[in-house]
Structure 1
Amino acid sequence: MSSILTNTSAMVALQTLKGINSGLAMTQSEISTGKSISSAKDNAAVWAISKVMESDVKGFSGISDSLALGESTVAVARQASETVTDLLTQMKGKIVAAQEENVDRTKIQTDIQALTDQIKSVVGAAQFNGLNLIDGTSSDSMNVLSSLDRDSSGNVNASTINIGRQNLSVTTPVTAQNFGAGDLAAAAPDYISGAGTTQTAAASALTAPATVTASGGTATVTVGQVAAGIGYEMALDGLDIKTADGSTANGSRTFQYVAGDSDGTADVAKNLLNQINSFFEAATDGSYTAVLGATDNQITITNNSGTDIDVGLRATSGGTAGTDAASGGLGTLANIDVTSDAGATAALSNIETLIGKSIDAASAFGSAEGRIQTQSSFISNLSDSMKSGIGALVDADMEEASARLQALQTQQQLGIQALSIANQQPQNILSLFR
């Protein structure tokens, strides 16, 4: 049966052509965008996954920049630490040469001071973008953003690489100690004692002192025990002290040290001894000497001047320990003086400790730099893998799209022909009425 009101063949041909055109439009979109899923309507689940992964890739791009900045900062610190190590090694050669008595130690000391100044310059210049990891101005670690970690619930946490600072400063910041006023009473001699009377906080430090006679007299002071916050004091009276015009004047000097948590008896004795020797070298004519006694917690003072001196002792509680240049970094470089036998001997031990510090610093920075490089390489590879994964989800198969386009274009042409034929069928009915 044929009908001029309902052309079923044309309807079928039209629906077929619409389907072909729809497929052709989709294929052309894939070819033009390069994606099989370019919007949420194409495949909502896959599109959502791809967008989350794309955001992570963008985040990893920022992490790569952070790692590059951190690596550069650490590389500067490592290079500076290695340079300081080289300079300290050169200084060690000078100090070894000063062990020989038949050398000009004054000139050697000048060379050592020049090397010290160069170390100061290197440490001061070892900054990247204003951040210096070796100048001792801060003990806070540097955190380098290294990763974004996403868990199964979709929560994201930032991971960091912690870089510890290393103090290679020659001029370490000093915090003052607070010499307490607590009265130890009868316990005072347990902390510091000698030939005289150890005073408490309630009495003058020179009450009943020990007299060190002229021309060879000695006095030995013993640090008996240590506790944090205990203040140790030695006062020397009757010293011949150099004045500005080159003459001498009778005077006194007090040396104090407050013990910290990590101090032992030898540490207290050594600190007081260093203070005393520094004063003797700077302000006297060499008539007085101070050395360690029979044990490392004793100090022996010798008076080779023409007048007696007095040594007074005091111990107090309630103090607060401070820091000095010798407590961190390379501050003890300031104490190196090879112009005397004792100074040259002490400098040899001192320089070994300082070289060890600089080597440890360079090693720490080298390890950190290697870790950052490894993480940077991993982030780069991870980003590439994620990009490949995103592509596998949403990118169009261009070979398949090309073949499908050719087929759909042929089908479109055939569909148009089929629709044209179907539309002509009602015209054939006219021949029945002729």
Structure 2
Amino acid sequence: MAFSVNTNASALSALQNLNGTNARLSTIQTQINTGLNVSSAKDNSAVYAIAQSLRAENAGLSAASASIDRALSTIDVAIAAGEAVSDLLIELKEKAVAAKDAGLDTASRASLNNDFIQLRDQITSIVNNAEFNGTNAVENNGDPIIAITNDDGSSQISVAPQNLSLSGSNVALTVAQEINTAALASAAVDNIESSIQNVNSVLSNLGSNANRLELQKNFVSQLSDTIEIGIGNLVDADLAESSAELQSLQVQQQLGLQALSIANQAPQSVLSLFQ
């Protein structure tokens, strides 16, 4: 073995090994701190790129889920308005049928007519206030309910507006309809009966679309969860394995420091040659 005080091959080798241990120890500590095996493009560029693409897809699905939630809330308001209108029509029919009685006295007919007018006008109030997030799907010239259903917004569910206003396509009662005579009451009964059938059809349509939105919401949620699991499979660290490796590297680091210390003392032996 050559003796030299200028070059210490053993120390250089020990230092290289120690640096390698420290570098790996730093990587393991990062994995433990972040919980990720691939936390940046430096760790694994291909896997990181795939994970980022999947994260972008999940972000789009999150926006789709929010859009579906808004649509569901809007359609729930529309259904509530439709059910309220249906209930009012039933009450209106009761008043109108009672007013058809030819033997009814004037005071009773006037009382029925007043009740009828209040119920009739309540339909307008309900329809005008059936709005959520700026969308009213049951007024005259109402707004469609639209929800995006995929990660890039290229697919959507659209629910057509349903007119529940007085004198509209579904409610045959006019804004001035009264039952202050038997003849007017009879005409009102006919209008109310057709309106009830129309409103029931509207409610059926809205209910079917609400169910469709619920199904799509569940699908988007399941798809998002699946993608999240896939991202985890790609980039998550095995913390049990990382913990075991950390213990091993810490021991190696201590041994490396000891080996470097011993190697650094080797040149001291040269002094013995001159004694």
Tell me how far apart the structure 2 counterparts of residues 377 and 62 of structure 1 sit (CA, whole Å). 14
Residue 167 of structure 1, aligned match among 150, 163, 185: 163
Which structure shows the bigger proportion of residues in strand conformation? 1
Q: Give 1:340-355 correspondences, 5 Å limit.
A: 340=181, 342-355=183-196
Counterpart residue type for residue 136 of structure 2: N
Cross-structure match for 2:20? 19
Bigger RCO of structures 1 and 2 (CA < 8 A, at least 6 apart): 2
**For 1:36, what is the secondary structure of its paired residue?**
coil
- How far is the alpha carbon of 1:86 from its aligned partner? 0.3
- Percentage identity across paired residues of the two chains: 44
Q: Which runs of 5+ in 1 are unaligned?
A: 149-155, 173-327
Q: Provide the rounded CA distance (Å) in 2 between the counterparts of 1:32 and 1:338.
A: 77
Q: Show the counterpart of 2:145.
A: 142
Counterpart in 1 of 2:265? 424
- After TM superposition, give the deviation of residue 90 of structure 1 in Å: 1.0
Counterparts of 2:191 and 2:176, CA distance in 1: 9
Aligned equivalents of 1:400 and 1:46: distance in 2?
20
- 1:74 is displaced (CA, Å) by 1.2
Shift of residue 340 of structure 1? 4.8
Aligned AA (2:3): S
Q: Deviations over 1:18-65 (max 9, x none)?
A: 211111111122122222111111100111111112222222332232
**Whole-angstrom distance in 1 between the partners of 2:182 and 2:116:** 16
The equivalent residue for 1:397 is 238
Q: For residue 62 of structure 2, what is the aligned residue in structure 1?
A: 61
Report the equivalent of 2:120. Answer: 116
User: Structure 2: where are the runs of 5+ without partners?
Assistant: none
Which of the residues 357, 360, 378 maps onto 2:219? Answer: 378
Q: Distance in 2 between matches of 1:404 and 1:419?
A: 22
Residue 85 (structure 1) aligns with: 86
Q: What is the TM-score when the length of structure 2 is the normalising length?
A: 0.87
- Cα 1:413–1:337 change in 2 (3 A) is closer
Q: Partner letter of residue 403 of structure 1? A: A
User: d(CA) in 2 for partners of 1:93 and 1:157?
Assistant: 48
Tell me if the contact between 2:100 and 2:183 (Cα under 8 Å) persists in the aligned partners: no
What does residue 195 of structure 1 align with? none
Distance, in Å, in 2 between the alignment partners of 1:61 and 1:371 is: 18
Output the CA distance in 1 between the equivalents of 2:182 and 2:270: 132
| Residues 31 and 401, structure 1, Cα contact 8 Å, conserved in 2 | yes
- What displacement does 1:433 show? 3.9
How many residue pairs get matched?
A: 271
Partner of 1:3: 3
Q: Is the Cα–Cα contact under 8 Å of residues 136 and 329 in structure 1 kept in the other structure?
A: no
Distance 2:99 2:10 in 1: 113
Aligned to 2:249: 408
SS of the counterpart of 1:131?
Answer: coil
How large is the Cα RMSD of the aligned pairs?
2.3
Q: If you compute each CA radius of gyration, which structure gives the higher value, 1 or 2?
A: 1
Q: Deviations over 1:156-213 (max 9, x none)?
A: 45321111111111154xxxxxxxxxxxxxxxxxxxxxxxxxxxxxxxxxxxxxxxxx
For residues 385-411 of structure 1, the C-alpha deviation after alignment (integer angstroms, 9 at most, x for no partner) is: 322222222122222222111111110
Task: Please name the residue that 2:133 is paired with.
Answer: 129
Judged with a 3 Å threshold, the aligned counterparts in structure 2 of structure 1 residues 128 and 95 are, in CA distance, closer, same or farther, namely same
CA distance in 2 between partners of 1:421 and 1:391 (Å)? 44
Say which SS state the counterpart of residue 158 (structure 2) adopts: strand
Equivalent residues of 2:74, 2:145 under 8 A apart: no
Which whole-Å CA distance do the structure 1 matches of 2:118 and 2:258 have between them?
Answer: 97
Matches within 5 A, 1:184-263: none
What is the distance in 2 between the residues matched to 1:157 and 1:141? 17
